[in-house]
Each structure stands twice: as structure tokens, then as C-alpha cells.
A = this chain, B = another copy of it.
């Protein structure tokens, strides 16, 4: 992009003028931009050159060397969370969360199904009773780590499921989900962020879609009776602390660094139910939640209990909230690492609205008007969606329609808003293509270190060899350690790494093997105890009516049982304990032709229950390569047919 172009953008309200405030025109503009923007017309060069330049070499992690950061990536519709090494951009692990995982047995093992089942509201349990009992899909959007004193503390990762209104928690010591909750009263959790100070604490969750409360069919096509609900989850107990009903519907959210506020964007203040209605207003708003006032309100009993949850009324005029007008359809909400500001990204407006946290007390005390909390509103380009920070006073905003990343200076934007003749924009670079979220290393903490920026681009088009109609996304790694941004790596990823965080290596300290006392398999351990079985020595088949409990342990290359016999129709529970205590020595258990398979990492116990209604000889085997005699690590389930 030339300097002329950049200038043209900044002053180029003519491009913005293409947008009218009617939905129809906005749609038309959006289609053109999303499908034929300048960025997309660029074509990728042919083959790789023999030598990588020094720039690109910065992202190269040589064989045997380690990445500097844990990237925690959500996966959108894939329903999982991914650990990506940064800067190598290698996928180091998939953590199944809302999905069914063929490899680990997530969604099939008793341990995972218990977590999923316990997350469910009673009506969901009823609904799912005859269809496999658990949801096997999810739409995982926003993965965020727990905080203590304004920075990551390495305890947990929280992530939302927009598809089925859930939030899950991942234990960072073992990198497995340990809790999940379906949020009552809300529909389709979108924005999620943890409380930053003093600690997490609360996990703030935006119910995106407005629905009747209760949503039992008594109200159907009457949108005036729909509501959106903001939820504060208790991150320690994974229960709902309180909820607030708001006007409009909720999009993204962030917390401040003082433990006082949460701020949510609202893209449909019109409360419409179709596109034209949703985009008909000139303005929408952000909703600010005053945590102390809300806690006092709860204390004072100013709530209704709905489905067991304390729900406050935070609609316009409430003392618990303030509504700050911004241009139509804002999207990302991002607090700056100095704790001073929160950025609201314009989406349909070319602006980012900068709100000063210090002014919110006056706003809540009605000493200033809502727009008085705004200290800057730089025009950056078309389609600003999310903003990240380098800890040096600069911000990086994704421009979806322009397919660019825009680097700008916060102080200069504030000065310009005051009327000074300064240009906050430092640099714009093309990204390939159509960026959504972005994130900087440690950038949502007070320890933002300004090393790396990732731009999560929704389209890859010609950036990779063609893999058919369904293409990967393109997560680009950008070096921001210098004065300007430099793209150093194109990272192909499967649908759809919605958002990410980048955490310095020293903060995350997973264990290498499980501890035998881990509560993960508490239920299996309790049953074993009742059955008089020592899991680490197990080689037992216990019949209990038509229930059969099979206990075995695994040590490469053998299961402790070479065979067991059950009757057709028996309910069989198989519990396997991996007694190998070597780093990385995972075993698996597959019951062939029964659709049963799961992982047992070193020192873990895992179990599964199924009905043995297929007679005959069925081999079980270890499907996790463990030993030179791995293929010989197998045994037989003999199922006696019904007479």
C-alpha cells in the first residue's frame, strides 16, 4: 500500500459514503468488499524460493528448539481448543471440548460424558435423552486464560460454545476440560472474557440472541418479548453468579484492569429479527456493567430468580448499566494493557471508539453524558473488527473489508479527537484475506510485550495449494517487535480458529503424567473401590446382574486381560488404567467393530460403558503406538449369543 493510498483511506470518507444506514446498501457494500476487495485480487506467487529471507527466518523454530509462547486457539465450528506454538505456528495439541473426538474418546468416555451431562439444564437433558444424550458439536469462539492481578495465571482456559449456549473450562495442568455449564435464560453465548483484577473470579458471557424467558414455546413470534442476557459466571465453581437483562443483543465483551466494569458491544440495538431491521439505525451502543453496583443490588435482593439464577434488570434507565452510543453494529471490545481505555471496534463504521475507564464513575453518577466517556474515535479504514496492543502505546486493528491490519497510536488518536492536527495511523499492511480477530503476545494483559501479532483471516483463497471447495483459514504471524509490522508466516488452519491468545511459555506449566489421585476419574475409582479392585493391579471381570464391569491395566505392550467373556445384551463398563509412568507413553483402548475408542495417557484411568449386543469374537487393541510389539497389544471380548 502506497502512502497515497494510506492518506486516501484516512481522509477517504467517500469510501465510507458507500455505506448508507440502510441494511440493504450495507449488505451490497459488504458483498463487494468480502468477495472482490483489493486484497483478494492479489495472487500468490508461484513456488517457494530456495532461501527464506531474514524476516521469515524469525518465525522459524529449528528442529529441537522450542517455541516461546503457548498460543491458545479456539476452533470455531470444530468445537475444540488448539495449542499452537508461537512463533512456529505449529499445532501442538487439540483439546476436544464441545466436539466428539475419535482419538481421545471425548464425548464417549464416561468421564467426558459426565462433564457434558452435568453441564446440562433439565430441559436439555430431557431433549437429548433419546439422541445420544450429549451434544457432539459446538462453536467455540473465545478462549481466554484465567487472570490474577491483570495477567495470565496459568490455571484455566475458558471458552464459549455459541451453538449450544455453553461455557467450558480447561485445566491447564492436564490440558483437558474439567467443567462445562449450559447457561440458563440466555441464548447462544458469544462474547466471553474473564475478570482481570483482582483475579478470575468472574467470567463474563454475552448471550447474543434475544429469546423469550422462559423459552418454552409460550412466546413465539413476538420479538418485543425477547430478551438478551449478560452472565457473570463464577470461574472457580463454574456456576452462574448473576445475570443482567439488557436492551439490544450482546456481541463482544471485555473487562477492565481495576475490577470495576465489564463492557459489551451491542450490534442490534434495534432488536430486529431480520437483516434490514438489525441494520436500520444510525447508532448502536456499548453496555457498561458496574460490578460493585450489581453486587450491591444482588445483596439488596433487587433481582428475580429465574431457573435458579439471580437476574437483575439492566435495561436502559437501570443503575447497574450505562449505554454509550456508538456507530451502527460495533463488534470487538478490547481493553488497553495500561488499564486506561477500552476500544470498541466499528465494524460498519470505519472508526474505533476509545472510552476512558476513568470517566465511567462520573457516567454512572450522571455527572457526564454517555458520549462524554469517549476520548477518541479514529477513522482507520473499512470494517474495523478487533484491536490488539503492544504495550508501547500502539494499537493494531483488523480491517475486515479493507483486508488490512492498521497500526495506530492511542495517545495521538486522543490528541486528534481533541482537535490536534496529528495522524494516529502509523502503518497499514495488507493481510490475506479478511481478518476477524487478531491478538498480540500477552496483549490482553498488563504484560503485553509487543513481540508478535496474529491476524486470524477468514479467507485464504489463493494463499495455499488448492484443497477443494472448502479452504483453510489463514492465520498470519506478524512481527511487531520493530517500528513497523512485517508478515512472516502464513498459517493454514482448519475451520475456524475464531480467536486466540498468546501466552509466554513460563506461565503455562502442564504436568507430564497424570497423578494417580486425580479427581478426573473419581467415579470410576469409587466404583472400583466398591468392587474391591485396585485400579493399578486390575485384571477383574465383575458381573452384577446384566451389568459387567471389566477392569484392566495397561503396560506396554500388554493389557492385563487377554480376554473376557460377556453375554449378548450385557451392559459392559470397561475401565483401563495406564500404569506406565513414562513421559509420552499414552495407550489407547479400541473395541473393534463396536465404535469404541479412547485414550489413556500415562498414569490415567479412563472408562466407557456400552451394550454388548453384537455376538462373536471382538478384538480390543491399543491404538496409541506404544512399543515395538504395539500391534501385539490386544485381546478378545467374547460375546455369547442369546439363546
Contact = CB atoms under 8 A, between A and B. Distances in A.
A136 interface: yes
A319 B511 CA distance: 57
Interface string A608-634: 000101111101010111111101111
Nearest to A629: B30
Contacts of A54: 51
Given A57-B60, A557-B27, A632-B278, A79 B91 contact: no
Interface string A172-196: 0111100000000001100000000
Nearest to A267: B631
A137 B108 contact: yes
A616 B212 CA distance: 8
A93 B470 contact: yes
A583 B45 CA distance: 18
B100 A136 contact: yes
Nearest to A164: B593
- How many identical subunits does the complex contain? 2
Interface in A511-556: 511-514, 556
A216 interface: yes
Interface stretch (A351-359, A444-452, A486-494): A486-494
A439 interface: no
Contacts of A641: 216-218
B34 A627 contact: yes
Interface stretch (A145-153, A360-368, A455-463): A455-463
A442 interface: no
B632 A468 contact: no
Contact of A488 (B63, B221, B460, B634): B63
**Majority SS of interface residues in chain A?**
loop
A401 B216 CA distance: 61
A306 to B, nearest CB: 15
A74 to B, nearest CB: 12
B617 A219 contact: yes
A93 B251 contact: no
A422 interface: no
Contacts of A420: none
A627 B76 CA distance: 16
Given A164-B595, A495-B624, 6 more contacts: A48-B60, A56-B60, A57-B57, A78-B102, A99-B101, A470-B586
A460 B27 CA distance: 49
B623 A273 contact: no
A295 interface: no
Contacts of A463: 63-64
A230 interface: no
B44 A66 contact: yes
A323 interface: no
For chain A, the bracket of interface size reads: 35 or more
A604 B26 contact: no
A563 interface: yes
B65 A48 contact: yes
Contacts of A27: 557-558, 629
A263 B487 CA distance: 49
B597 A275 contact: no
A31 interface: yes
A135 interface: yes
Contacts of A260: none
12 contacts: A48-B88, A77-B103, A85-B464, A93-B468, A93-B471, A108-B136, A108-B137, A163-B595, A221-B565, A468-B510, A471-B586, A496-B625
A17 interface: no
B217 A568 contact: yes
Given A495-B104, A631-B267, A592 B217 contact: no
Contact of A494 (B91, B221, B466, B472): B91
A226 B602 CA distance: 33
Contacts of A115: none
Contacts of A513: 469
A492 B173 CA distance: 20
